[in-house]
Structure 1
Amino acid sequence: MKLGISEIFSGIGHRDGSWSVDAAQLIEGLGYNSVWMPEHVVFFPAYSSEYPYERGGRDEVHAVRGVLDPLVTAAAVATATTRIRIGTYVLVVPQRNPVVTAKQIASIDQLSGGRFQLGAGVGWSEQEYRALDTPFERRGERMNEYLAAMRTLWSPDEVVEYHGEFVDFEPLYCFPKPRQARLPIIVGGNSRAALRRIVAYGDGWAGYSRTHDDIQRFVDELATELERAGRSLDEVSIKVGRRSKGTTEKDWEDDRAYIERCAEIGVDEVVVSPRIADEDYERRMRRYAEIVGV
């Protein structure tokens, strides 16, 4: 069982750019497998869209004013660390130009020595889409095509082209290529659409806020759909996000129990979000690592 940390790299107040790099180095030093950056381009004082996950996550999102851009942060972390895997949990792909995004991600993978993982999702905030002047409708179809186009841009072929409804480019060069022969796309979401997207484009699942029964059902369905497509569950990584329910050691022991049960049902990695306050961050992160058993 691998463990990752998803942290709020806000760039606000005490959590400036240097704090973010220091935190990533600490997380690497504690022995975690990976560090993950969340994404929202903008936040709002009030939301019209319903947050799709558990209440604690909703309350947190409603309280956040901003986060550092995850790809910029990933580049900084890549040059400041040597071992830890680096990813997005998750990048809202349909809001970004896929040609530019493919180049940025390939550059990060080169800078990191092949340690980047693209956690990708469709997002849930219609207001954010409006602010970015991007259609909220059919965002799933848009994402599918963006992922396919990025795979084309990352292919080893020197000259590539893509022709679709949402992405259309003539033969071109797109360098650098990723360091990894196949850069992992970890598909976020708990829906049937997310499941189909994993089968068609993905190398893993980035679930979030799921019970163990929910996880088992999703994985069973995924195994069936992969087999129908001529693929195997062995080809994909099963990751589950866990937002700690509190900040006490009892809460962290609950995280450990959750992680242990995930290991029993075949989850490859749990990405935990302990949400430790800035004050005494290092000492408490070290204690959290001791409790959850990194």
Structure 2
Amino acid sequence: MKLGISELFTGSDARAGSWSTDAAQLIEEIGFNSVWLPEHVVFFPEYRSQYPYESGGAQEVNRLLGVIDPLVLASSIGTATKTLRIGTYVFVVPQRNPVITARQVASIDQLSGGRFEFGVGVGWAEEEYAALDVPFARRGARMNEYLAAMRALWASDELTEFSGEFVDLPPLYCFPKPAQPRLPIIVGGNSDASLRRIVEYGDGWAGYSQTFDDIEAFIAKLSTAMEAAGRQMSELSLKVGRRSKGKTEKDWEDDRAYIEQVMALGIDEVVVSPRIGDENYERDMRRYAEIMDL
């Protein structure tokens, strides 16, 4: 059973810096495969944009309020751990300059010894895009081109150039390069556009808040699309996110049952978000790991 954990390391807490690395070391020690870091650059008291995963809207999103920048935190965790895989779940690619992002991601992969996985998405909140002065329209096309540009920047020690609608780079050198020969791009989302993006640019899928039927249907469509593109499903790492509905042992046992069922569908890793608070964190995390049979 390969499990990742999505942790909410929030900068609104003065102790977040040291606590986050201590928590990551504990996560590594007790047997989790990976830690995944969410991203929202800014938050709003209310959203006009429709939250696509849960019914909680702004209240659910603002549970992440103050979350530490995922790339900065990934660098810190990478130097504090030895074997833990580290990823973003998910990084909103179109909101940031792709050259800077490519350099930051490659730096993290170098510092962690090749343990970084780049979970990516287009985002859903038009309010965030407006605050960052980035067009919300055609964000999917922008993301696709940014991913292609970053792949080009990571690929060779020789001069790189790239020309497109959103990115126009003259011949240049961009260093460092990732430690991994092919740094994994894990594409988030449950839409047909996400599926096409996996086939063209991705090394995996990061699903979220999916029923068993939804997961099975998505994998079937993805398999067909991969075959049509001349790619194999074995090239992909399939992950789904699981948010616990509470913090009792019964809730955690429900997590285990869910994990066993989705892994039977061909999922490689489940990224869990157990509702474990700061108080007695180590005790509860160890008990959670015991129930998960880590």
Q: TM-score range by the shorter chain?
A: over 0.9
Q: Deviations over 1:37-71 (max 9, x none)?
A: 00000111111111100236864313442210000
Q: 1:44–1:65: 8 Å Cα contact kept in structure 2?
A: no
- Structure-2 change in CA distance of 1:285 and 1:277 (3 Å): same
Gaps in structure 2 of 5+ consecutive residues: none
1:282 counterpart SS class: helix
Cα distance per residue 1:212-245 (max 9 Å; x no partner): 1110100000000000000011110100000001
Letter of the aligned partner of 1:93 in structure 2? V
- Paired position in structure 2 for 1:91: 91
Contact 1:14/1:278 (CA < 8 Å) preserved in 2?
Answer: no
Corresponding residue for residue 155 of structure 2: 155
User: In the alignment, which residue of structure 2 is the partner of 1:66?
Assistant: 66
Runs of 4+ in 1 over 6 A off after TM superposition: none
In 2, the alpha carbon distance for the partners of 1:112 and 1:290 equals 27
CA contact (8 A) 1:46 1:62 kept: no
> Which residue of 2 is the match for residue 136 of structure 1?
136
Tell me the equivalent position of 2:216. Answer: 216
| Equivalent position amino acid for 1:86 in 2 | I
1:264 matched to 2:270? The reply is no
1:188 corresponding residue in structure 2? 188
What do residues 240-263 of structure 1 show as CA deviations (whole Å, max 9, x unaligned)?
000001111111111000000012
2:83 is paired with a residue of what secondary structure? coil
Structure-1-length-normalised TM-score:
0.98
For residues 14 and 248 of structure 2, the distance between their equivalents in structure 1, rounded to whole angstroms, comes to 22
Tell me, in whole angstroms, the C-alpha distance in 2 between the residues paired with 1:63 and 1:222.
32
CA distance in 2, matches of 1:204, 1:64: 25
Query: Is the contact between residue 78 and residue 111 of structure 2 (CA under 8 Å) also seen in structure 1?
Result: yes
Of residues 6-15 and 241-250 in structure 1, the stretch that sits farther from structure 2 once superposed is 6-15
Counterpart of 1:35 in structure 2 is 35
Q: Which whole-Å deviations, capped at 9, do the CAs of 1:104-152 have from their partners, x for residues lacking one?
A: 0000000000000000000011000000000001000000000000000
Q: Number of residue pairs matched?
A: 294
Structure 1 range deviating more: 168-177 or 9-18: 9-18
Say if 2:244 and 2:274, in contact at 8 Å, map to a contact too.
Answer: yes
Q: What is the Cα deviation at residue 293 of structure 1?
A: 2.0
By how many angstroms is 1:11 displaced? 1.9
Corresponding letter in the other structure for 1:99: V
Q: Is the alpha carbon distance of 1:58 and 1:263 closer, same or farther for their aligned partners in structure 2, counting shifts above 3 Å? A: farther
Q: What is the percentage of aligned positions where both structures have the same residue? A: 71
State the alpha-carbon separation in 1 of the partners of residues 57 and 18 from structure 2: 26
SS of equivalent to 1:136: coil
Measure the CA separation in 2 of the matches of 1:15 and 1:258.
33
> Is the 8 Å Cα contact of residues 243 and 272 (structure 1) preserved in structure 2?
yes
